Amino acid sequence: MFYGIYVPLICVVIFTIVDINTGNAQDWNKYLLSNLLVIGLGYQMVFFGFGHLFYGDKIAEFIGWEKGSPFQYEVGLAGVAMGVLGILCTWYTGLFWLATIIVNSIYLWGCGFGHIRDMVKNKNFNPGSAGFIFYYGMLMPVAMIVLYALY
């Protein structure tokens, strides 16, 4: 499971370094934002979505929530849809990037605050609720917003 979390972020770093070395180093923020949107958000969210769609009970257990809930299907479709927006950033830039960042920021921060509420109310500190994925969801929007502002 963790390969699907770390590998895309490692790819973002590697692809950005390659882009900087083969392009204009002054455009580092553009390269980083592009790779973050397409790989770190796009492919990552598609795989997160597939996890909820096809391994819903396993994901629910990892998060610390009840198995068998139909929320897994809905969360999975939302993840795939937002991931597709990220992947489309390969071909569409400018305001499309901004729209993708806004939609994903609302979703990721909304999920993050839901997990905070669950941590406080139910003392749920399972890795799927309070671990890397939580920090990904809270910090990814910050990174995208800052990089877009620099773009």
Instruction: Find the largest Cα–Cα distance for the chain.
Output: 50
The full set of domain ranges for the chain reads 3-150
- The whole-number average pLDDT for the span 13-27 is 86
The pLDDT value given to residue 11: 87
pTM above 0.85, yes or no: yes
Q: How confident is the model at residue 52 (pLDDT cuts 50, 70, 90)?
A: very high
CA distances from 89 to 44, 73, 144 (A): 14, 25, 13
Report how far residue 42's alpha carbon sits from residue 104's, in angstroms, rounded to the nearest whole number.
Answer: 10
Residue type, 50: F
Q: How confident is the model at residue 90 (pLDDT cuts 50, 70, 90)?
A: very high
Helix and strand tally (H, E) in the chain? 8, 0
Report how far residue 35's alpha carbon sits from residue 64's, in angstroms, rounded to the nearest whole number.
Answer: 31
Angle at 121 between CA 117 and CA 126, to 5 degrees: 75
Q: How confident is the model at residue 58 (pLDDT cuts 50, 70, 90)?
A: very high
